[in-house]
Structure 1
Amino acid sequence: MTDPRSAPLKKPSREEAEAAVRTLIAWAGDNPAREGLIDTPGRVVRAYEEFFEGYNEDPYKELTRTFEEVEGYSDMVMLRDIAIESHCEHHMVAILGKAHVAYVPTSKVVGISKLARVIEIFAKRLQTQETMTAQIADTINRALEPAGVAILIEAKHQCMTTRGIKKPDVATITSQFTGVFRDDPRMEARFMQMIRG
């Protein structure tokens, strides 16, 4: 028997998506036909296209153009304070925060904007922060085959800050270390120190 979770998904049409938004507006108790809401379904669908554009992108492909002329550089390459905007897969509300990522090249480096792009692609999907952190580290590790990868994400989840327990000042921190960052405490400590500036 085929697992229904692995079956190809037929993407609904734009009209079906807009109808679903009208249903939610009515379910919330308002009239989707009133002036202020008449164009809301179209706006929501366009916003979702932007929020979830990561499903249309291949993060691994972003890292395939590399450079080998690095004059023997073999220390940490780090990007700090990369803004993250994602959405919780449990409540479909915003996850807002920052990512810090580093790798130690072996024979090749990649354009730094590509690292930020990989993070954005995974963020622009329905996510848990733990899964997103692991996906980013794994993709960089597989594509660049570095001596190690480090990533730390700190974010606030609106599913916790604006609903449910309503704790607005709580941040979730996740990290993943591979290679030298996992095996050498000094490298992990350098990474953490550089995050703090």
Structure 2
Amino acid sequence: MQEHNFDQADWRRFLKHLGEDPDRPGLIDTPNRVEKAWRDWTSGYEEDPAQVLKVFEDGAEQYNELIVIRNIPVYSHCEHHLAPFFGTATIGYLPNGKIVGLSKLTRLVDCFARRLQVQERLTTQVAEALMQHLQPKAVGVVVSCRHMCMESRGIRTAGEETITSAMLGELQPNLALRTEFLALARGG
């Protein structure tokens, strides 16, 4: 995995470029805080989705219904402006003899969200990783986020949500299964 090499002088130059005085009392520790924040916000580069997903076979052999987790927090940064975007994800899958620890789905979303992203890629990365490492019959992912690049600059439209989805395996051809997943994703 990659190592972050932040230079305090770069953050000081950035503050100067904005018209600020990096030696002003309120900004003296800002380069350290920014470095620490960006290490956390981009920690997903250091995570391996295969290591995040712990698979269980015990108890899942006979389970053949959808498993859905809703309202998984998403906090990421857009790769175009480095602006935050945030919202929730819903993940559903149809087991094929194996299940995954439920908390691992939240960790999987976080693994990809803590990288510079676009929402569309984040959605497909989560779905594809789950399909690859768990090998279920079907995977569905729905992500709904607000983007600060739209809300705080440019068009400045507050409160709009962007919704993306990825449907893999049996969710693609099976309309009944797809409808069931989407109903569960909405809370129905």
1:140 to 113, 119, 130: 130
1:157 to 147, 150, 154: 147
Matched, 1:76 2:88: no
> Match for 2:170: what amino acid?
V
Paired position in structure 2 for 1:169: 159
CA contact (8 A) 2:61 2:97 kept: no
Separation of aligned partners in 2, 1:96 and 1:71: 36
CA contact (8 A) 1:154 1:171 kept: yes
Q: Unmatched 5+ residue regions in structure 1?
A: 1-7
Matched, 1:90 2:91: no
Residues 1-197 of structure 1 mapped to structure 2, 5 A cutoff: 11-12=4-5, 14=6, 16=7, 18-70=8-60, 72-197=62-187
1:107 partner SS: coil
Deviations 1:38-70 (A, max 9, x none): 100000001111111111111122124423322
CA contact (8 A) 2:60 2:95 kept: no
Separation of aligned partners in 1, 2:144 and 2:112: 15
CA contact (8 A) 1:156 1:170 kept: yes
Separation of aligned partners in 1, 2:179 and 2:53: 26
Separation of aligned partners in 2, 1:11 and 1:47: 12
Counting aligned pairs with the same residue, the percent is: 36
> Match for 1:91: what amino acid?
H
1:181 partner SS: coil
CA contact (8 A) 1:60 1:118 kept: no
Separation of aligned partners in 1, 2:61 and 2:124: 31
Separation of aligned partners in 2, 1:119 and 1:31: 38
- Provide closer, same or farther for how the CA distance between residues 171 and 107 of structure 1 changes in structure 2, counting only shifts above 3 A: same
TM-score, with structure 1 as normaliser: 0.90
- After TM superposition, the runs of 4+ consecutive aligned structure 1 residues lying more than 6 A away are none
> Match for 1:157: what amino acid?
H
Separation of aligned partners in 2, 1:36 and 1:186: 58
Deviations 1:137-196 (A, max 9, x none): 000000111110000000011011101111112111110001121111111111111122
> Match for 2:14: what amino acid?
L
The count of aligned residue pairs is 187
- Provide closer, same or farther for how the CA distance between residues 9 and 144 of structure 1 changes in structure 2, counting only shifts above 3 A: closer
TM-score, with structure 2 as normaliser: 0.94
